[in-house]
Amino acid sequence: MNETTASAYVKNGRLCILGVQESEVGLVPFSYITEVDAEDGPVDFGVEDQDPNISAAIEKAREPMSLKAEEAKMKVVAGQWVDRARAGDQNAMALISGCRVNAQRGSERAKKAVKFLGEYIRANPVDLTDGNCRNYLPQATPDKALIQKLSQFKGDDGAVSAWAPALSKKDPYLTAVVLADGPHMTTERIVSIGSHFGEDEKSDFILGVKGWNIKEPVRSSDAFFAGQAIGNARAIQAVRQGYPISHFCRVSGWELGE
């Protein structure tokens, strides 16, 4: 073990040990409780005339206590890896990916690490107010009438080309979800929807379809935002059919263990 500072006490036949361990990731807290036949009160690790039962309990606790301290350190490291990976750190992504591979191969330590990674991810979901996620947030209050029209005619390519642009500019993600619940966005269908736009708008539409997940719009036309929503709808449909999420978002992919 690394240098450890601990204190202990006996209460109701239980020896309770609390401490911190110095490590390369900073101070890591840990605790351990075990049964002991001894009187209640504080425990002094340094005395020579220690109660034999307490001494035996402390000695017996050394290995499991060390394991608990190691687990506490692994939890800290897991959180650091996740935060770094979410910030785009390729090394952290590689470490997490390698950890999952080793867990699948049967490594008990790697399995434990994957468990801690999952716990941290669930306890600390991605902050959707962060700038990196701003294109997934509603840009304005959506128009209910537009949503109803789009929902009603989402299978009509001409109607989609008419109603999607206005709603897409207000809320591209909501538009994508509505369209994803309609007929499959095949290449033929996307070409059909695009044919209802004028020549200038058509190029913006296709650009939006291809760049459906870019953060900063490269065009300001309604056709471009409609293309982004339709490209996003196609991605949602693909994932529903079992296509790997990592193909669209590497961060989400490794968080899901792909």
Give the structural domain span for 53.
4-123
Provide the pLDDT for residue 162: 67
Both 172 and 242 in a single domain?
yes
What is d(CA 171, CA 223) in angstroms, rounded to the nearest whole number? 14
What is d(CA 237, CA 179) in angstroms, rounded to the nearest whole number? 9
Is residue 258 very low, low, confident or very high in pLDDT (cuts 50, 70, 90)? low
Both 147 and 240 in a single domain?
yes
- In a domain, residue 70? The reply is yes
Round the average pLDDT of the chain to a whole number and report it: 79
Total domain count, the chain: 2
Both 47 and 114 in a single domain?
yes
User: Worst-scoring range by mean pLDDT, 1-5, 32-36, 65-69, 116-120?
Assistant: 1-5
Both 16 and 46 in a single domain?
yes
- In a domain, residue 254? The reply is no
Both 97 and 146 in a single domain?
no
Both 216 and 140 in a single domain?
yes
Both 165 and 105 in a single domain?
no
Both 115 and 200 in a single domain?
no
pTM: 0.45
Both 72 and 143 in a single domain?
no
pLDDT in tens, 32-91: 888 999 889 988 877 767 888 888 888 888 888 778 778 888 888 999 999 888 888 888
pLDDT in tens, 128-157: 555 454 444 444 445 566 566 666 666 676
Using a 10 angstrom Cβ sphere, with 0-12 exposed, 13-18 middle and 19 or more buried, the burial of residue 162 is: middle
What is d(CA 206, CA 13) in angstroms, rounded to the nearest whole number? 73
